[in-house]
Structure 1
Amino acid sequence: MMKKKASVAPGLVKKGDRKDWKPDTVEIIDEREALRYIFKCDQWLGMKKGRSLFIDLPAIRDGKQTLNYKSYQVDVKTSDITGAGTDSNVYLCLFGQYGDSGDLWLEKSETHSDPFERNHVDKFTMQLVDLGEIGKCRLWTDNKGIGAAWNCEYVEVSCKVKDLRKVWRFDSGAWFSSSKDDKQISRFIECSSVKVLDSKGNAVEQEQAAELEALSLDSVKSAQPGDIVYTVKITTADEKNAGTNNTVWLILVGQKTHSRPFLMQSEAEVKYFSRGQVDTF
């Protein structure tokens, strides 16, 4: 059961010719408990008009979100070696204790107009559903453009809680290239270190770090046993080209567990996810 804290993750599989989709709302009805959850999206999904193939949406009950968004700062350091910079598009996915961030396109650097050049640190700020402790990330490029090869020194992800900032570091030092070293353009990187900083950037004592843990982690309760029937209603935005013929899937996220991905389809002849349409599953 989703209960007080819940989210859903609608997403696309890039198979159709209309590769972007703009869902307006997702409604989940718990038939057993007679509970109704609303998930407001109103964002493009897809890599042309949107920044990701899926998004994590917090539930809204009684006009309030049941999960919190946090502002995360992502710093990406390109190595200081010959040929380290790239013109490829760079993407990131963060994996935390409460789920993952989805595929994030690191498109517009806050520090450089031409990102991912040699010895540059590119900063990105993102509003994401609280990930909790971040254990690993996936970093990759599309290996396109002149000088597609890229060497990343590290990625640092940080978020602020009150007057303290927690920083997760992911050391890389590897080539993202189809022609160099092991010819990999995608890598999973484990968290190398975690530190807590004060407002001046100084490392804090262990007791203060423990206090931050207590502030940043939500209390978690065990999931309730038993099968629950949910009715899912998905509304596509009523605007030009908002519909899609891609495969759409959905994951329900509860307080401690999440569902398997559900494909949002049934009868083959039904045309789902058209502009302004409400589809029920």
Structure 2
Amino acid sequence: MFLFPEPTPATSTVNEPSSNSNKRYTITVQTGSVASAGTDANVFLSLYGDKNKIIRYQLQKSKNNSDPFERGHKDEFEFDNIDIGQLKTITIEHDGSSITSGWYLDFIDVTYNNNTVNFPIDRWLAIDEGDKRISLELEPNTKPTSKIAPAVENDKEEKRSSISPMDEKTKIEYSSEKADYDDFFDNDEDTNAENATEYEITVKTADKRSAGTDANVYISLFGDKDKLERRQLKEAIDRKLNLFESGATDRFQVFAVDFGKLKRIRIEHDGRGIGSGWYIDSIEVRYVARNETYKFPVDRWLDSGEGDKKISLDLEPDKKPGQLKDENNTDQEEGNTEQKRDTTDE
């Protein structure tokens, strides 16, 4: 497994249907003008509406730039796809697949049905900046609320490397930021709230060669009443030092708001370390007070050098990623359809 694989021809993860009910979507992406803001990573967009959703569409061919997502550039993408209804949220992400993968996003506009919806961003998607996220869920006209540290800019106006050597000053500043963000995830206000609800997260790593990871792992929980976004799984109940080892089962205790019935989760890692690729067998989330357990079979890699190269994955209870419904089928439970994804491991 390699953190940065050899470049391969990019392909869309979405099969675009040819139905006459399709809508034309225009996506405008403004990359920031700060030093080294551009990215060479593969970029994906998901659109969630009140009727349907489009999952992980690759923004690949810019209408106005041959090399998209360069510093200060505005890129426009157009595609036809299913009618999602009223746009509620989007997810923008990249796969961290290049040395210069860190990306500073200014904003995204989504235009369809003669209506433009704006998503202000003004932050890094980078494993070595701020809260180290490379996947971000956004609501219209609302900036992300996560703590974001200012970028450490070099004197040279060259593209930033996520694995480049750092001088002593940079090392000191980075260490300070890391402590701040560890505190941010540990001291979430939900944890100390009087009405905090206890959850138990069980993560089973597959028993196969090189299945384990040393990367930082995060989980998000989405219910019908509330959500818990990007809680780092870093201290197991048994307090063992090495987490997510091949064949191991790790259990974590999480206190958060009562988010009601669990609809989906997101599991992700930040790609840190040479052996960051991770093969997950399954995940369970137990609502302790009600003794309700939600099971999420996984059985696949989260690895920028394997399969579809994803390191962030949305999961629904009792469904393997490859069992998610095609957009032409009706989702009986949620009234939604989902784009078919290729999760075949190479």
Q: TM-score scaled by structure 1?
A: 0.48
Greater relative contact order, per chain length (Cα 8 Å cut-off, separation 6+): 1
If each structure's strand is expressed as a fraction of its own residues, which one has the higher value?
Answer: 1
